[in-house]
Chains A and B, each alone.
Chain A
Amino acid sequence: MTAVSSGPEQAAAGPGGSEVLDRVREFLVGHPTAGADRLAFLRARFDAGLARVDLPPGQGGLGADRDLQAVVEDELRAVGAPEHRPSDNPIGHGMAGPTLRAFGTDEQCRRWLRPLWTGEEAWCQLFSEPGAGSDLAGLATRAVREGDEWVVHGRKVWTSLADRARWALLVARTDPSVPKHRGLTYFVCDMHAAGVEVRPLRQITGETEFNEVVLDGVRIPDTDRVGEVGQGWAVAQGTLMNERVSYTSGTAPRHSGGIGALLAAWHDHPERRTAGLHDRVLSLWVQAEAARLTTARWEQELARGRPGPEGSAIKLEHARLNQEISQVELEVLGDAGLRYPDYSERAPEPVPWTEAAPGWRYLRSRANSIEGGTSEILRTVVGERVLGLPPEPRIDKDVPFSELPR
Chain B
Amino acid sequence: MTTLAESPPVGDLRYSEVEEDLRAAVRALLDRRAGWQDVLARTETAEPVDRALWRTLAAELGCAALPVAEELGGAGASWREAAVVAEELGRAVAPVPFLGCSVATALLLAVGERDLLAGLAGGDRIVALAVPAASAPGEPLVPLAVDADRISGDVPGVLDAAAADVLLVPAGGALYALDVTDPGVRVTPAVSLDMTRPIADVTLDAATGRRLATGAVVADAVAAAQRIGAVLLAAEQLGVARRCLDEAVAYLRDRHQFGRPLGSFQALKHRAADLAVLITQACAVARYAADCAATGASDLPVAAALAQAHLSPTALRAAQECLQLHGGIGFTWEYVVHLFLKRATSQAIVLGTADRHRAALGELLGVPGPEETS
A387 touches B281 (CB 8 A): no
Interface membership of A146, Cβ < 8 A: no
B261 touches which of A260, A274, A281, A390 (Cβ 8 Å) = A390
**With A389-B249, A389-B269 given, is the CB distance from A290 to B281 under 8 Å?**
yes
A297 touches B14 (CB 8 A): yes
The interface bits of chain B over 268-303 (1 if a CB of A lies within 8 angstroms of the residue's CB, else 0) are 011011101100111111011000000000000000
Within 8 A of A (CB), among B278-333: 280-285, 287-288, 306, 309-310
**From B1, which residue of chain A is reached at the shortest CB distance?**
A264
Residues in A with CB closer than 8 Å to B370 are 273-275, 278
B13 touches A293 (CB 8 A): yes
B14 touches A391 (CB 8 A): no
Residues in B with CB closer than 8 Å to A348 are none
Interface membership of A393, Cβ < 8 A: yes
Within 8 A of A (CB), among B138-172: none
B273 touches which of A287, A300, A382, A391 (Cβ 8 Å) = A382
Q: Which of B25-33, B41-49, B173-181, B354-362 contacts A (4 or more CB under 8 A)?
A: B354-362
**From B274, which residue of chain A is reached at the shortest CB distance?**
A379
B358 touches which of A279, A387, A390 (Cβ 8 Å) = A279
B361 touches A383 (CB 8 A): no
A267 touches B7 (CB 8 A): no
Interface membership of A286, Cβ < 8 A: yes
Interface membership of A313, Cβ < 8 A: yes
Instruction: A316 to B260: give the CA distance in the assembly, Å.
Output: 27
B280 touches A313 (CB 8 A): yes
B264 touches A390 (CB 8 A): yes
A278 touches B264 (CB 8 A): no
A297 touches which of B277, B287, B359, B373 (Cβ 8 Å) = B287
Q: Which of A109-117, A247-255, A365-373 contacts B (4 or more CB under 8 A)?
A: A247-255
Residues in B with CB closer than 8 Å to A279 are 355, 358
A386 touches which of B276, B284, B368 (Cβ 8 Å) = B276
B369 touches A278 (CB 8 A): yes
Interface membership of B24, Cβ < 8 A: no
A383 touches B14 (CB 8 A): no
Within 8 A of A (CB), among B1-18: 1, 3-4, 7-8, 10, 12-14
**From B277, which residue of chain A is reached at the shortest CB distance?**
A313
A389 touches B4 (CB 8 A): no
B358 touches A380 (CB 8 A): no
A384 touches which of B265, B269, B310 (Cβ 8 Å) = B269
Within 8 A of B (CB), among A387-405: 387-393
**From A392, which residue of chain B is reached at the shortest CB distance?**
B264
Interface membership of B365, Cβ < 8 A: yes
**From A296, which residue of chain B is reached at the shortest CB distance?**
B10
**From A262, which residue of chain B is reached at the shortest CB distance?**
B367
Residues in A with CB closer than 8 Å to B274 are 379
B1 touches A263 (CB 8 A): yes
Residues in A with CB closer than 8 Å to B7 are 253-256
A382 touches B277 (CB 8 A): yes
B13 touches A275 (CB 8 A): no
B263 touches A286 (CB 8 A): no
**With A254-B8, A273-B369 given, is the CB distance from A286 to B309 under 8 Å?**
yes
Interface membership of A289, Cβ < 8 A: yes
A266 touches which of B10, B272, B282, B367 (Cβ 8 Å) = B367
A382 to chain B, nearest CB (A): 4
B306 touches which of A290, A312, A387 (Cβ 8 Å) = A290
**From A251, which residue of chain B is reached at the shortest CB distance?**
B10
B284 touches A388 (CB 8 A): no
A263 touches B264 (CB 8 A): no
B14 touches A301 (CB 8 A): yes
Residues in A with CB closer than 8 Å to B261 are 389-390
**From A260, which residue of chain B is reached at the shortest CB distance?**
B1
Instruction: A293 to B3: give the CA distance in the assembly, Å.
Output: 22
Instruction: A258 to B260: give the CA distance in the assembly, Å.
Output: 42
Within 8 A of B (CB), among A188-207: none
Within 8 A of B (CB), among A313-336: 313, 316-317
Residues in B with CB closer than 8 Å to A287 are 281, 310
Interface membership of B266, Cβ < 8 A: yes
Residues in B with CB closer than 8 Å to A313 are 276-277, 280-281
**With A282-B359, A282-B367, A393-B260 given, is the CB distance from A383 to B281 under 8 Å?**
no
B280 touches A309 (CB 8 A): yes
Residues in A with CB closer than 8 Å to B288 are 293
Interface membership of A150, Cβ < 8 A: no
Within 8 A of B (CB), among A348-389: 376, 378-380, 382-384, 386-389
**With A282-B361, A286-B309 given, is the CB distance from A383 to B272 under 8 Å?**
yes
Interface membership of B253, Cβ < 8 A: yes
Residues in B with CB closer than 8 Å to A378 are 273
Instruction: A279 to B370: give the CA distance in the assembly, Å.
Output: 10
Residues in A with CB closer than 8 Å to B265 are 392
Interface membership of A406, Cβ < 8 A: no
A379 touches which of B1, B269, B282, B310 (Cβ 8 Å) = B269
**With A387-B272, A388-B253, A392-B266 given, is the CB distance from A297 to B283 under 8 Å?**
yes
Residues in A with CB closer than 8 Å to B362 are 278, 282
The interface bits of chain B over 337-374 (1 if a CB of A lies within 8 angstroms of the residue's CB, else 0) are 00000000000000000010011011001011110010
Instruction: A392 to B10: give the CA distance in the assembly, Å.
Output: 40
Instruction: A312 to B272: give the CA distance in the assembly, Å.
Output: 14
Interface membership of B252, Cβ < 8 A: yes
B249 touches which of A286, A317, A388 (Cβ 8 Å) = A388
B3 touches A267 (CB 8 A): yes
Instruction: A275 to B13: give the CA distance in the assembly, Å.
Output: 33
B285 touches A293 (CB 8 A): yes
Residues in B with CB closer than 8 Å to A293 are 10, 13, 281, 284-285, 287-288
Interface membership of A208, Cβ < 8 A: no
A290 to chain B, nearest CB (A): 4
B13 touches A273 (CB 8 A): no
**From A312, which residue of chain B is reached at the shortest CB distance?**
B277
Within 8 A of B (CB), among A90-111: none
Instruction: A251 to B287: give the CA distance in the assembly, Å.
Output: 16
A294 to chain B, nearest CB (A): 4
B277 touches A317 (CB 8 A): yes
Instruction: A317 to B276: give the CA distance in the assembly, Å.
Output: 12
Interface membership of A77, Cβ < 8 A: no
Instruction: A70 to B8: give the CA distance in the assembly, Å.
Output: 23
Within 8 A of A (CB), among B103-132: none
Instruction: A300 to B11: give the CA distance in the assembly, Å.
Output: 10
B360 to chain A, nearest CB (A): 9
Given contacts A382-B276, A389-B269, 8 further A-B contacts (CB under 8 A): A255-B7, A275-B369, A278-B370, A290-B284, A313-B276, A380-B270, A384-B269, A391-B264
21 pairs, CB–CB < 8 Å, chain A vs chain B:
A251-B10, A256-B7, A263-B367, A264-B1, A270-B373, A285-B365, A290-B281, A290-B285, A293-B281, A294-B280, A294-B281, A294-B284, A297-B283, A300-B12, A300-B13, A300-B14, A383-B272, A387-B273, A389-B264, A390-B253, A392-B264
Closest 3 CB pairs of A and B: A253-B7, A389-B263, A383-B269
